[in-house]
Structure 1
Amino acid sequence: MKRPIALPQVLLTVFALSCIAPHVTARQPNILFIFSDDHALNAISAYGGRLAEVAPTPNIDRIANEGALFRNSFCANSICGPSRACILTGKHSHKNGFLRNTGTGFDQSQWTVAKSLKRGGYQTAVIGKWHLKTDPVAFDHWDILPGQGSYYNPVFISMDGKQRKFEGYATDITTDKAIEWLDQRDAEKPFLLMCQHKAPHRTFSPALRHLGALDGVTIPEPDNLFDDYATRSKTLPTNEMEIDRHMTWAYDLKLRKEEMQGVTLPEFRSYGTPEYNRMTPEQKAQWDAHFAPKNKAFIDEYKTGSIDHRALVRWKYQRYMQNYLETVKAVDESVGRLLEYLDDHQLADNTVVIYSSDQGFYLGEHGWFDKRWMFEESFTMPFVIRWPGVIDPGSKPTALIQNIDYAPTFLDMAGLETPDEVQGKSIVPVLRDSEQQIRDALYYAYYELGEHAVPQHFGVRTHRHKLFYLPWTDEWQLFDLVNDPAEMRNVYADPGYADVRKTLHQTYDHLRSLYDAPSYEKYAPPRKRQ
């Protein structure tokens, strides 16, 4: 006859098992984080923007269709290095110390999500663009581009400190290296793999196989390609990021000096042709076969005087967009290769796949290229995520999320605790229930003082409104994103928005206090203060 087990003993056993279960039996998901540079929402067809039909991205779309697409996804500081620092630390720029690309290197002594994941049993790897000036820490493997890196025949820096040049295209090579690491990893451990592309960052240089992919296609223009900047900050006309005045002929638009003989084209500044200069003779021949006839036709027409100012802007826009969208094609192919790898190796069911970019980008909106501003096109970040068994396929959450949320989200997925210093929030509740919200407003701060002459500004965004402040010129900007999604009319002084203005100021003050934001004077250079 079996003796009955006393209830206290049963409870004690259950409690003990519950304490050790997460470390013994829980199946921590792999995390594949695919990250690009300057990929605008309008250039991802899943978002349904004006470019969706002319430039589809089927592999990125697959993640969205099999998982969730976040339309209200934003960065905390729209510039390359600072955005990456926010992701690693879960903190705003003023807290993680990496405020601008032109500053000192990233402080690796501080906590990062890679450190916690590694301690929690994860293998960690980062491959591709790093752009933080100090070598990665807490990654079991890294192989990174120096600085911005190069598109053609790029150099990579490996963990032994050596630089090695690889013939080919950076997006393809980054993907090759990511797959090679997946092949060699310890299959008994979960992994975090950060596969980070240079593309489609300026110089918008496509894989040679994609040159001409959009030949004969007229790229739709944004309605505000010829924005006059009325009602908004006096600093907008002084920005150095207009397609009209600041896009360079050789560096951006692919007309080499030799092709511009006998004609004087208005030029803001010249950076030369560094990508072309890196090519092998065979690669140059392929490049020239595509661009030389087109460039000659343009120069010949320009010499006739038949191209007026607006027509010239439109020509630049078309050339820019063709190059940019053709550059995106290799990124989408990379996503497809990685998804195929997961399928072929029975990893898909237990791997969270995320596609994002460090910030958005202007594709002619407001007449611009580049990023930096808190206007929607550069403030937004693409964020699509697949997590089988957790996310309902085809979900489209409306939650306001930010790149400071990535670190706590990764930890939550892994069942690990988030340090108190982290300012972001886990979005796992939203992934489990797309109706969930995690905040009412976001805080933004831009500090860069370099190229493109975009001034510092600080602001907040709710689901409907946006308020930001420019301390150098003492200007406030307020936009109603429902009635004015293109942000063409600053309604800060509109009496009809008095209550909204008051509420947003309270939100602004609250978030600056919550995040312990520094005074404007700490970072505004004296020569720019007014």
Structure 2
Amino acid sequence: MIASPPNSFPRWRSFLALVFSFCAAIGVNAAASAAESDRPNIVFIFTDDHCTQALSAYDPTRITTPNMDRIAREGMRFDRCYVTNGICGPSRAVIQTGKYSHLNGFIRNGNRFNGDQQTFPKLLRAAGYQTAVIGKWHLATTPQGYDYYDVLKGQGPYYNPPMITEGDDGQPVTRPHTGYTTEIITDKTLAWLKQDRDPDKPFMVMYQHKAPHRNWRPAPKYLTWLDDVTIPEPETLWDDYQGRTQSASRQTMTIKTHLNANDLKLSGYGNMNDQQKIAWDAAYGPKNEAFEAAKDSMTEEEIIKWKYQRYVKDYLRCVKSVDDGIGQVLDYLDESGLADNTIVIYSSDQGWYLGEHGWFDKRWMYEESLRTPLLARWPGKIAPGSTNNDITSNLDFAETFLDLAGVDVPSDMQGRSLVPLLKGNTPDDWRQVFYYHYYENPGAHNVARHYGVTNGRHKLIHYYALEGKKIDDWELFDLKADPNELQSVYGSTDYAGVQKRLMKQLAAARDQFGVPEDSDPGTVRNRQRRNQAAKKNKQ
């Protein structure tokens, strides 16, 4: 037996300790890397004014959107996603903050978003995500919380858009672009995904389109698409507004009266260059000449029908380009191997009227603008072809992004993570009632200030200001008996119990979300106080 050298055991113990320490470090780092790789990438695709009526996963009667449908087919379609405030800027501010408009400070277009406040991209970035926003921003201030931004200046034109990005000195710089805006935004998103992101970090990119916002200028390749097709008219195109309060009839958003020559492509080019104008004139010139020659002999009804076809076809042409771009992004995710650990979410800032009630635009708490598309694909987590009928909202998006990243959701956010729903598990305490609030009056299209609650079956709406004056008008709808919301049953004895319950739920929702009492001269409490004062005066 050979004797060990003096002090050999201590040296061997030191060596073994070093080996074990090294292995442990490798194990910890491997675990950390595994945890990092488990955090999904997030691709959030967002459009402006896209309604479910123009997305064939919801409604195949007007258009086929195969790439949007692919997200639904390979993932989940949400059938009751409601917005908190149905207009562009406020919806985007809600998504950034997870808070209602009265708390995030952006209640109407024309406001400036306070980017210094807490937002979900800041929290994701602090947690190790690489963040980017590309396309429409529409919040008036420079994006904060993003490693990369390249956004449209203001609303942005459909052709040759100026876009704002970070310059070499760290300050925002505006750069010109030539081409069709939808395609430019897609190309920039693909370039960031392929070349500019850090492959060692999980990422969140907001891929956001201007389309199909007014005034609906199609891409060159779709200028004559649908020319030989007649789009079905909605059954409420000829609505006379008799079953509702004064607000419905005093709006200024009818196809009959309020579409202008620019909307209808009877004049104007937007931001086109000479070559683009030539293609535009070749497509619209003959059609416009035919209309001008015939219009003096057309009836009012025939002219409205012509306006409807012109408007809705241009809208659908803009949607078609968005769908093409989404297909390119989905293909890249699949081809690159990113798809397996990437959740793709598609939505819009609110719904839209494609002639329903004779209207274009949004803003109302009526179904067409209250409800927005929401589709999600997450391989291995979302059951393909699944649907969800829970009440969800753009208020939930920030919380969902944070939950996906394993980041604690701040207690002052007002929505809830959709992750359990994505996995097919609806929490027992999920919301049964939803609160909505629209503020922009006086303003475009003269839609009265209003708020309300809905449970998906019944809806209570309170109109409290119109044209600078206080009003106190109420509507109540039974969405099962009257899905087109043509006849309010507010004050009907048959719905007295429903009305009482919704009144209580409305007051509770305003308390829950901290809606300031003095922001509304017609709140439930103020109304009750006025009624009590009136009773005392009578006594």
TM-score (normalizing by structure 1): 0.89
Q: Distance in 2 between matches of 1:318 and 1:61?
A: 24
Give the match for residue 196 of structure 1: 208
Shift in Å at residue 236 of structure 1? 1.4
SS of residue in 2 equivalent to 1:470: strand
Matches within 5 A, 1:81-480: 81-103=89-111, 105-160=112-167, 161-183=172-194, 184-249=196-261, 251-256=262-267, 273=268, 276-303=269-296, 305=297, 307-433=298-424, 438-449=430-441, 450-472=443-465, 473-480=471-478
Give the match for residue 10 of structure 1: none
The one-letter code sitting in structure 2 at the alignment partner of 1:40 is C
Change in Cα spacing, 1:489 to 1:519, as seen in structure 2 (3 Å) is same
The one-letter code sitting in structure 2 at the alignment partner of 1:447 is Y
Conserved 8 A contact 1:395-1:434: no
Shift in Å at residue 520 of structure 1? 5.5
Q: Distance in 2 between matches of 1:354 and 1:429?
A: 15
Change in Cα spacing, 1:24 to 1:342, as seen in structure 2 (3 Å) is closer
Conserved 8 A contact 1:69-1:383: yes
SS of residue in 2 equivalent to 1:84: helix
SS of residue in 2 equivalent to 1:510: helix
Shift in Å at residue 231 of structure 1? 2.0
The one-letter code sitting in structure 1 at the alignment partner of 2:94 is C
Change in Cα spacing, 1:415 to 1:220, as seen in structure 2 (3 Å) is same
Change in Cα spacing, 1:356 to 1:500, as seen in structure 2 (3 Å) is same
Conserved 8 A contact 2:121-2:145: yes
Shift in Å at residue 212 of structure 1? 1.1
Q: Distance in 1 between matches of 2:278 and 2:395?
A: 44
Give the one of 58, 66, 71 matched to 1:58. 66
Q: Which runs of 4+ in 1 moved over 3 A?
A: 20-24, 434-437, 520-524
TM-score (normalizing by structure 2): 0.87
When the two chains are superposed, the root-mean-square deviation of aligned CA atoms in Å is: 2.0
The one-letter code sitting in structure 1 at the alignment partner of 2:408 is E
Conserved 8 A contact 1:398-1:435: no
SS of residue in 2 equivalent to 1:369: coil
Alignment of 1:502 with 2:493, yes or no, is no
SS of residue in 2 equivalent to 1:502: helix
SS of residue in 1 equivalent to 2:256: helix
Q: Distance in 2 between matches of 1:55 and 1:463?
A: 26
Q: Distance in 2 between matches of 1:25 and 1:411?
A: 15
SS of residue in 2 equivalent to 1:167: coil
Give the match for residue 514 of structure 1: 512
Change in Cα spacing, 1:418 to 1:22, as seen in structure 2 (3 Å) is farther
Give the match for residue 25 of structure 1: 35
Conserved 8 A contact 1:354-1:383: yes
The one-letter code sitting in structure 1 at the alignment partner of 2:497 is D
Shift in Å at residue 327 of structure 1? 0.7
Q: Distance in 2 between matches of 1:360 and 1:429?
A: 25
Which stretch shifts more, 76-85 or 431-440?
A: 431-440
Matches within 5 A, 1:67-86: 67-86=75-94
Change in Cα spacing, 1:356 to 1:107, as seen in structure 2 (3 Å) is same
SS of residue in 2 equivalent to 1:213: coil
Q: Distance in 2 between matches of 1:39 and 1:395?
A: 22
Give the match for residue 8 of structure 2: none
Shift in Å at residue 159 of structure 1? 1.1
Conserved 8 A contact 1:399-1:436: no
Shift in Å at residue 463 of structure 1? 2.3
Q: Deviations over 1:11-44 (max 9, x none)?
A: xxx9xx99x9678625100000010000010000
Shift in Å at residue 53 of structure 1? 4.0
Q: Deviations over 1:133-190 (max 9, x none)?
A: 1100010000000110010011111112221111100000001111111122110100
The one-letter code sitting in structure 1 at the alignment partner of 2:213 is H
Give the number of aligned pairs.
486
Conserved 8 A contact 2:224-2:283: yes
Q: Distance in 1 between matches of 2:317 and 2:140?
A: 29
User: Unpaired runs of 5+ in structure 2?
Assistant: 1-23, 466-470, 531-539
Change in Cα spacing, 1:157 to 1:230, as seen in structure 2 (3 Å) is same
Q: Distance in 1 between matches of 2:53 and 2:139?
A: 27
The one-letter code sitting in structure 2 at the alignment partner of 1:195 is Y
The one-letter code sitting in structure 2 at the alignment partner of 1:440 is Q
Q: Distance in 1 between matches of 2:64 and 2:517?
A: 44
Shift in Å at residue 54 of structure 1? 3.9
Q: Mark the structure with the bigger radius of gyration.
A: 2
Alignment of 1:42 with 2:53, yes or no, is yes
Conserved 8 A contact 1:54-1:217: no
